[in-house]
A = this chain, B = another copy of it.
Amino acid sequence: MDEKELLKFRTALTRFVPLNDEDWGLLSPFVTYRNLAKGEHWITEGKKEQYLGFILEGNMRHYYIRNGEEKTTYFYFENHLTGSYFSALNGAASLVTIEALTDCRLLSFPYDVLVSLYDESHAWERFGRILAEYLAMGLEERMSELLMLSPEERYVKLIEGNKKKIIERIPQHYIANYLGITPVSLSRIRKRLTSK
């Protein structure tokens, strides 16, 4: 286990909540490496997925499948947690798939372990609360954008906003899917915007 990368992970968690050596020692023995080739699934719809991951390197795409069509909800980049959080939470089969858009390196740990830490330590319980609050704020933002903005406005916000990584690194047809429109429609929107 590369100590430098493990520290990177610990530091990322510390952004949510301070973790002393004792707290960290409860989780760290359960952390393992995972490599994924481009196109492989980290999480697969229909399976009970029990692991959360921390991306050391690479990009991932989080999507639902509805009537055979993929519907992208999120992209994940390095230095962020990824997983089918809510499936893990209630022990059900995952509703989502998370695939590697590039070759990826992850650190992973079982969700079960995290839950057992909630019992063992107030600090980890707090971590769980703040993580859930953080996820909820992200979902609230995404939800309100879908409700309030037109596809064109959503695209403009993506360009101008703080999600530049998506524009820079993600193929356009996935971005269209993320915006809830077809690639054809996104192409038209781009044309409309450049002619203004």
Contact = CB atoms under 8 A, between A and B. Distances in A.
Contact of A89 (B66, B125, B133, B143): B133
Contact of A129 (B66, B132, B147, B148): B132
Contacts of A125: 122, 125-126, 129
Contacts of A71: 144, 147-148
Interface of A: 64, 66, 71, 73, 86, 89, 118, 122, 125-126, 128-129, 132-133, 135-137, 139-140, 142-144, 146-149, 180
Count of chain copies: 2
Most B-side CB within 10 Å, residue of A64, A128, A136: A136
A147 B73 contact: yes
Given A135-B136, A136-B136, A147-B180, 4 more contacts: A118-B129, A122-B125, A129-B129, A136-B139
A130 to B, nearest CB: 8
Given A66-B148, A129-B118, A146-B146, A136 B73 contact: no
A54 to B, nearest CB: 19
Contacts of A142: 143
Nearest to A146: B146
A132 B136 contact: yes
A62 to B, nearest CB: 11
Nearest to A69: B148
11 contacts: A64-B147, A66-B148, A66-B149, A122-B122, A129-B129, A132-B133, A139-B140, A142-B143, A143-B146, A146-B147, A147-B180
